[in-house]
Amino acid sequence: MFDNLTTKFQKVFRHLKGHGKLTEENIQEALREVRLALLEADVHYKVAKDFVKTIAQRAVGQEVMGSLTPGQQVIKIVNEALTDLMGGTAVPLDLTGPPPQVIVLVGLQGSGKTTTAGKLAFHLSKNKRRPCLVPADVYRPAAIDQLTTLAGQLKMPVYPSSSDQKPEHIVRDAVSFARQHQCDTLIVDTAGRLHIDQELMDELKRIEAVVKPQEMLLVADAMTGQDAVRVASSFHEALHITGVVLTKLDGDARGGAALSIKAVTGCPIKFVGVGEKLDALEVFHPDRMSSRILGMGDVLTIIEKAQDAFDEREAEEMARKFKEDSFTLEDFRDQLRQVKKLGSLESILKMLPGMGIMKELKKMEVDEKALVRTEAIINSMTRQERQNAGIINASRKRRIARGSGTTVQEVNQLLRSYNDARRMMRQMMGGGKATKKGKKKK
Ligand code: GDP
């Protein structure tokens, strides 16, 4: 996700790290590169321009804080500005009020509406709701079949629509169907078109008038970049869109849509699709997304996923270690082993702080082989070395490389990744160097 953008940002920050002090000149240079990186990622040009202006205003005249280097300070400012750009905080679905609540999914053909309907049903059922699926795309019988199949997999009720019904009649009747089946939420999948046209908008308006949905979510394909932003604007002008679901973020989307949609349309992104499977939907958290884009990982999402995959005690232990900065190379190795349990390896690795950097350093694909090599290096260390990486000197490195069939250079790379990971975790958990002591006193 957004690999290029991450690489570019890291280059800017690395460059700044080399300077002891922020000067007008190096800030200007960094800002120029940030702007180019955003434009290359297909961010709307006006959004990119305003973004750089915001950063410039925040960076200039900043007191240098004792605990941060100038480079870190710029990372902090960019992180906050990116978070603001994407809406600041997560905007949850508003499903208060008497049931059944109605969620209507709209969007162009192929954007991922039907898949998202299934994912959303799965997400809501995990949150103790009882959804019912409603196929209202009467022009494509295959779409009705697709949703019916998904409902079967999820063991959820599906309204038996037929292609000779009018969509607005389907949704009207589906409301009483939902009541009969004790469902508290209807998820309506509507028809799409290849392009926006008046006929489609009129149909969606009729549906809107009949059921007055609590949520009308636009499903947009992140891979289409600025087109997704234009589509969101048009739908938002014609209908009362309450949020966006940005799909296919697992592909090689450049980031333009995710970064521009809120700023251009005012509509918050509520969810992102990160795969074709039913569990590949994530609540959109601007701060976590910003952290991922900057290559700082997304520890909170991993912890949530871990809570799903492991028992709670294990997940809490991991969170405690992150917080207390007592994360050793053994934990690093355990993390590698555990990520295999967490689903798509590639997507999870990108959420680990430092992993993005490791990938870039080695100029390699993150693959099973790389994991095996990393694990072999850590296995060749003594227990003492794993607990305290600081003691690993040149002769120890040579021994470790020999033992693991790797090179000293590879051992160095691993140690650098590990140190980067620890440093970023400290930053992300909001702790300065002093927090550990402070906590102990309490
Ligand atoms: P619709 O025409 O809007 O209903 O789109 P579909 O739900 O049929 O999805 C179109 C294609 O996109 C299908 O092949 C889906 O599997 C795929 N798709 C949907 N969401 C995602 C996603 O988040 N990631 C990936 N990789 N594929 C997706």
Distance in Å, CA 408 to ligand 1 centroid: 44
Place of tokens 């969007």: 107
Q: Ligand 1 mean position to 356 CA, how many Å?
A: 26
Question: From ligand 1's centre to the CA of 42, what distance in Å?
Answer: 21
Q: What is the pLDDT of residues 301-335, one digit of tens each?
A: 666 666 666 555 665 676 677 677 777 888 888 77
Q: Known binder of ligand: residue 209?
A: no
User: 393-412 burial string, b = 16+ CB within 10 Å, else e?
Assistant: eeeebebbbeebebeeebbe
pLDDT of 212-255, one tens digit each? 999 999 999 999 888 899 999 999 999 999 999 999 998 777 78
- Return the ligand 1 atom nearest residue 117 CA: 7
Atom number in ligand 1 closest to CA 111? 3
Using CA atoms, how far residue 346 sits from 33, 284, 342, 391, 425, in Å, is: 27, 19, 10, 31, 20
pLDDT of residue 197: 84
Rounded distance between C-alpha atoms, residue 359 and residue 362, angstroms: 5
In the chain, CATH 3.40.50.300 covers 101-293
DSSP labels for 1-49?
Answer: --HHHHHHHHHHHHHHHT-SS--HHHHHHHHHHHHHHHHHTT--HHHHH
Q: Which residue has the higher pLDDT, 309 or 398?
A: 398
**101-293 CATH:** 3.40.50.300
pTM of the full structure: 0.72
247 annotated ligand-binding residue: yes
In this structure, the residue with its CA closest to atom 22 of ligand 1 is: 248
Distance, CA 305 to ligand 1 centroid (Å)?
A: 22
Q: Bridge partners of 50?
A: none
Report which protein residue has its CA nearest ligand 1's atom 5.
112
Work out the percent of the chain whose per-residue pLDDT is above 70. Answer: 79
Within 294-429, where are the H helices? 299-309, 312-324, 329-339, 345-351, 355-362, 368-379, 383-387, 394-404, 408-428
- Report the 10 Å Cβ neighbour count for 380: 18
Contact indicator for 9, 79 with CB cutoff of 8 Å = no
Encoding tokens for residue 92? Answer: 């949850």
**For residue range 381-392, what is the model confidence (pLDDT) as tens digits?**
999 999 999 999
Using omega within 30 degrees of 0 as the cis cutoff, is the peptide bond preceding 160 cis? no
Phi then psi for 7, rounded to 5 degrees?
-60, -45
CATH 1.10.260.30 segments of the chain: 299-434
Under DSSP, the state recorded for 195 is S
* Whether residue 275 has its Cβ less than 6 Å from ligand 1: yes
Mutation pick for ligand 1 pocket among 276, 278, 346 (CB with most ligand atoms within 8 Å): 276
Residue 19 is encoded by which pair of tokens? Answer: 């300077």
Residue-wise pLDDT for 63-78, tens only, equals 555 556 667 777 888 8
Residue 231 and residue 239 in contact, taking contact as beta carbons nearer than 8 Å: no
Specify which residues 186 forms β-bridges with.
102, 132
Angstrom distance (rounded) from CA 430 to CA 153:
42
338 lines ligand 1 (CB under 6 A): no
Is the CB–ligand 1 distance for residue 250 below 6 Å? yes
Contact 336, 418 (CB under 8 A): no
Which comes out higher in pLDDT, residue 196 or 84? 84
| pLDDT reading at 409 higher than 60 | yes
- Kindly indicate whether the domain formed by 299-434 is annotated with CATH number 2.60.40.180: no
Q: Which residue is listed with tokens 């798509």? A: 344
Q: Are strands 101-106 and 131-136 parallel, antiparallel or unpaired?
A: unpaired
Residue with tokens 């997704």: 228
Is the separation of the CB atoms in 211 and 171 below 8 Å?
yes
The total number of residues shown for the chain amounts to 442
pLDDT value of residue 330: 86
Ligand 1 in reach of 118 Cβ (< 6 A): no
Q: Is 248 annotated as a binding residue?
A: yes
Taking the centre of ligand 1 as the mean of its atom positions, its distance from the CA of residue 265, in whole angstroms, is: 23
Tell whether ligand 1 has an atom less than 6 A from the beta carbon of residue 109: yes
Domain with CATH 1.20.120.140 in the chain: 3-85
Distance CA 313, CA 325 (A): 18
Mean pLDDT across 113-119: 96
The dihedral built from the CA positions of residue 401, 404, 405 and 411, taken in this order, carries a sign that is negative
Cα dist from 173 to 183, 207, 215, whole Å: 14, 12, 18
Q: Is the pLDDT of residue 266 over 70?
A: yes
**CATH code assigned to 3-85:** 1.20.120.140
Please report, for residues 37, 136, 145, 165, 181, the alpha-carbon distance to residue 156 in angstroms, rounded to integers and kept in the order given. Answer: 44, 17, 14, 22, 10
Are the C-beta atoms of residues 134 and 189 closer than 8 Å to each other?
A: yes
d(CA 215, CA 92): 11
Ligand 1 centre distance from Cα of residue 110 (Å): 6
Q: Which of 106, 109, 115, 217 maximizes ligand 1 atoms within 8 Å of its Cβ, making it the mutation to test the pocket?
A: 115
* CA 201–ligand 1 middle distance (angstroms): 21
- 244 within 8 A of 275, measured Cβ to Cβ: no
Q: DSSP class of residue 297?
A: -
Tokens of 20: 């002891």
